[in-house]
């Protein structure tokens, strides 16, 4: 049988309507958008029209849409850009606030800044993985310049109260609010009115890899990560990825146009799998129930010391099921930093499996998945740990 893929949070396939755009733009739009000839002008017009279309979807200004190579660059640009601009303007040490469960591109960026002398507060979360806005408010200092809280957690699907946090921070104009929107876009509604910086990734929404967005509101001071030409309003030098921009624009519009229908289906699929896994006594479900979670992610752990994520991934792989344990960017870690923050339990954090869903997953696929997980539990219970370790290899 074909492999059943349940790792759509790591990367999703191109939307069928995007494939045609990718081929057409790759073949025909090869001129450099910065060139001062008619072919360059035409490509530039297409890029600016794409920027305007995305701005219309996000309800922001076209000048606030910056094209990047992906969400990792966008997250780094938001954090480092704000910090460096503040330090250049004031020559003072800034303070940052983020949660302990942010994506590694946010978390490790802030850890590096802390090592360089920047003050950083890592907020804890509750058992559902939710940040407490009142705890965030108490953490604010006179030199706080940036708060970064993701919309939807990439491992557990937990939805953060970013709307509430945005309203809180709007009363503190010296603080910029950054939201990593990668896993929430097209899955959970979000109004960007009170958000200053917002990150999106092409390949998580049916677009190609190597393209992303940083939305930066007017008035947000950003220092660039790199230096060169004056592309992207001076924020990002380098030749524009024209096919990426064209395809990302299509993916952004399709994600919102199809959101109601797709999320209704995903919610039903999520409920089916979630309820079946809840009935397996050996499993701990780490994803909170809706409305605290998005409809495309379910995370669970196995309650038995010594049974790791790697063992379960290996067993399921032999049943042609593809799953992960964490974000792809953190997959080499032995235990999940996110689940350690949520549970403070090494066994739970080292035995987690993330199922991430897509509208192409059928209920028959879901039934096979649940049956395979049940068989896996039976296999684990009847096999010695030594044999399981050999099985993993």
Active centre residues (catalytic): 329
352 φ, ψ to 5°? Answer: -90, 150
Alpha carbon 275 to its chain centroid, in Å, reads: 25
Tell me how far apart the terminal alpha carbons of the chain are, to the nearest angstrom.
22
Q: Extract the tokens encoding 289.
A: 């129930």
Q: Report the distance separating Cα 145 and Cα 269, nearest Å.
A: 41
SS3 344: coil
Q: Report the distance separating Cα 99 and Cα 147, nearest Å.
A: 9
Q: Report the distance separating Cα 7 and Cα 169, nearest Å.
A: 34
Query: What is the DSSP annotation of 30-95?
Result: -S-TT-SSHHHHHHHHHHHHHHHHHHHHHTS-GGGEEEES-HHHHHHHHHHHHHHHHHHHH-S--E
Strands 144-148 and 321-322: unpaired
Can you list the positions of beta strands (E) in the chain? Answer: 4-5, 65-68, 95-99, 119-123, 144-148, 176-180, 197-201, 212-216, 283-285, 297-302, 321-322, 352-356
Cβ-proximal residues to 2 (8 Å cutoff; 6+ apart), any chain: 320
Q: Extract the tokens encoding 393.
A: 């290899």
Half-sphere exposure of 268 (CA within 13 A, CB side): 9
Q: Is the preceding peptide bond at 169 cis, omega within 30 degrees of 0?
A: no
Measured over all CA atoms, what is the biggest interatomic distance in the chain, rounded to whole angstroms?
A: 71
């Amino acid at each position: 049988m074909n492999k059943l893929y349940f790792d759509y949070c790591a990367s999703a396939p191109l939307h069928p309507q995007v494939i045609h755009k990718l081929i057409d733009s790759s073949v025909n739009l090869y001129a450099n958008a910065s060139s001062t000839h008619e072919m360059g002008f035409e490509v530039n017009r297409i890029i600016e029209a794409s920027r305007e279309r995305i701005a219309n979807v996000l309800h922001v200004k076209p000048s606030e849409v910056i094209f990047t190579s992906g969400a990792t660059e966008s997250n780094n640009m938001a954090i480092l850009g704000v910090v460096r601009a503040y330090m250049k303007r004031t020559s003072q040490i800034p303070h940052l606030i983020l949660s302990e469960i942010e994506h590694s591109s946010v978390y490790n960026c802030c850890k590096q800044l802390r090592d360089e002398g920047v003050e950083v507060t890592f907020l804890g979360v509750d058992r559902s993985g939710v940040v407490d806005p009142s705890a965030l408010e108490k953490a604010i200092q006179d030199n706080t310049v940036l708060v970064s809280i993701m919309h939807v957690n990439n491992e557990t699907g937990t939805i953060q109260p970013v709307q509430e946090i945005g309203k809180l921070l709007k009363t503190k104009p010296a603080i910029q609010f950054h939201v990593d929107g990668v896993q929430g876009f097209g899955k959970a509604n979000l109004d960007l009115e009170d958000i200053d910086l917002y990150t999106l990734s092409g390949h998580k929404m049916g677009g190609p890899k190597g393209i992303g967005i940083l939305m930066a509101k007017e008035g947000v001071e950003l220092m660039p990560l790199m230096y060169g030409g004056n592309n992207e309003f001076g924020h990002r030098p380098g030749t524009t990825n024209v096919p990426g921009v064209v395809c990302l624009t299509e993916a952004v519009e399709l994600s919102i146009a199809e959101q109601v229908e797709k999320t209704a289906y995903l919610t039903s699929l999520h409920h089916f799998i979630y309820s079946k896994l809840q009935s397996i006594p050996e499993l701990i479900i780490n994803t909170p129930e809706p409305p605290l979670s998005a409809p495309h992610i379910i995370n669970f752990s196995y309650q038995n010391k010594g049974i790791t994520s790697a063992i379960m991934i290996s067993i399921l792989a032999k049943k042609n099921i593809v799953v992960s344990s964490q974000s792809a960017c953190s997959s080499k870690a032995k235990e999940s930093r996110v689940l350690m923050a949520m549970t403070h339990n090494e066994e739970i954090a080292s035995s987690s499996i993330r199922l991430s869903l897509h509208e192409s997953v059928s209920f028959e696929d879901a039934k096979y998945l649940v049956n395979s997980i049940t068989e896996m539990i039976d296999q684990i219970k009847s096999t010695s740990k030594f044999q399981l370790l050999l099985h993993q290899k």
